[in-house]
Amino acid sequence: MKFHGSMRMMLIKKGAEASLYLETWHGRKAILKRRLVKKYRVPELDKEIRIQRTKHEPSIMHKAKEAGIPTPIIYMVDISSTTIVMEFVEGKRLKEILDGIPLEERRKLCRHIGILVGKLHKYGIIHGDLTTSNMILTPEGRIVFIDFGLSEQSFEPEDRGVDLHLMKRALLSTHFAYAKECFNSIVSGYMEIMGEDKTKEVLSKVREIEKRGRYVSER
């Protein structure tokens, strides 16, 4: 039997790959994340992607908790309807607040992000979609990471480099005015966890990725 959720489900965000609904779960405010059928892709591929991500996301979110990164609590997973019900995290997305706060506070927040990313990487988790839209600042000052749909497990410098490269590019495209300053603070937090050598290794990967030629003349 498929899990449908209640009749009063309220759509709060239609993302690229999933829709988020506001729900109540045994009296608690909850988010219902449903990966919807994408008509543009063939059903075989569509089903595989949705099921794989629905299975993968909760387990890696749990693993992230082991590493000390706050992530929403999972209440329920239903594979047949590719649905996850999880804790509704009160707070604001960093994307909305990062530009409007004083310099010192922004630096502190970014350093905090760097510490969390460092912890993830040290534990062998690659988030896969590090953007300020995927981080929520709670009223108590915790930063909660969300959306682990594209995450993977790896200790490879290349994968860590891609992760930080994505973070950097997300800053450049969304917070252009402070991108550099923010990224530097993130790196300082990251280094606190990963140590200088590992950080340097990952940063040289980031540079390598940025420089990678788009032209392959001969193969």
Interface contacts to another protein, rule CB under 8 A:
14-17, 38-42, 44-45, 48-49, 128-131, 133, 150, 162-163, 165-166, 169-170, 172-174, 176, 209, 211-219
State the Cα–Cα distance between residues 34 and 114, nearest whole angstrom: 29
Rank residues 26 and 212 by Cβ distance to another protein and give the closer one.
Answer: 212
DSSP label at 40?
T
Rank residues 7 and 42 by Cβ distance to another protein and give the closer one.
Answer: 42
Minimum distance from CB of 216 to another protein (Å)?
A: 5
Q: Which of 78, 99, 129, 163 is catalytic?
A: 129
Nearest to 171 by CA among 214, 113, 122, 124: 113
Pull the structure tokens for residue 219. 């193969």
Give me the residue label for tokens 């594209």: 150
The question of whether 78 is a catalytic residue gets the answer: no
Minimum distance from CB of 139 to another protein (Å)?
A: 26
Minimum distance from CB of 106 to another protein (Å)?
A: 18
First vs last Cα of the chain: how many Å apart?
51
Rank residues 1 and 216 by Cβ distance to another protein and give the closer one.
Answer: 216
Rank residues 6 and 173 by Cβ distance to another protein and give the closer one.
Answer: 173
Phi-psi region of 151 (alpha: psi -120 to 50; beta: other; left: phi over 0): beta
Minimum distance from CB of 160 to another protein (Å)?
A: 12
Angle at 131 between CA 204 and CA 193, to 5 degrees: 50
Residue type, 15: G
**Active centre residues (catalytic):** 129
